Amino acid sequence: MANTKETLKVDVFESSPIPVRKTRTPSFSVDLALLGVAFVWGASYPVGKGALFYAPVSILVLYRFLITTIITAVAARHEIALVSWGDFIRGFALGTILFCIFIAETYGVASTSAMNTALIISLCVIFTPIIDYGLSRRLPPTGILASAAIACIGVGILTGGISRFSPGDALVLGAAILRAVMVVSTKRLLAGRQISSAALTAIQGSTVATLTFVLAVAQFGISGLVVRATLQFWGAVAFLALFCTLAAFYIQNAAVRKSTPTRVGFLMGTEPFFGFVLAHLLLNEPLTVPSLIGAGLVLAGTFAGIWFESRTSK
pLDDT in tens, 30-54: 778 888 888 888 888 778 888 888 8
Q: For residue 153, what pLDDT is reported?
A: 85
- pLDDT tens digits along 179-225: 889 988 888 887 778 788 788 888 999 999 999 999 999 999 998 89
CA distances from 145 to 127, 131, 258, 259 (A): 10, 12, 22, 19
Q: Is 312 in contact with 161 (CB distance < 8 Å)?
A: no
CB atoms within 10 A of CB 218: 9
Across 176-186, b (16+ Cβ under 10 Å) vs e yields bbbbbbbbbbb
In the chain, domain spans: 34-313
pLDDT for 236-275, tens place per residue? 999 999 988 888 877 876 776 677 666 776 676 677 777 7
Give the contacts of 279 (CB within 8 A, at least 6 positions apart). 46, 114, 115, 118, 285
Instruction: Provide the residue type at 269 as one letter.
Output: G
CA separation for the pair 150, 244 (Å, rounded): 27
pLDDT, one tens digit per residue, over 68-123 is 899 988 988 898 988 899 999 999 999 999 999 999 999 998 888 777 777 778 77
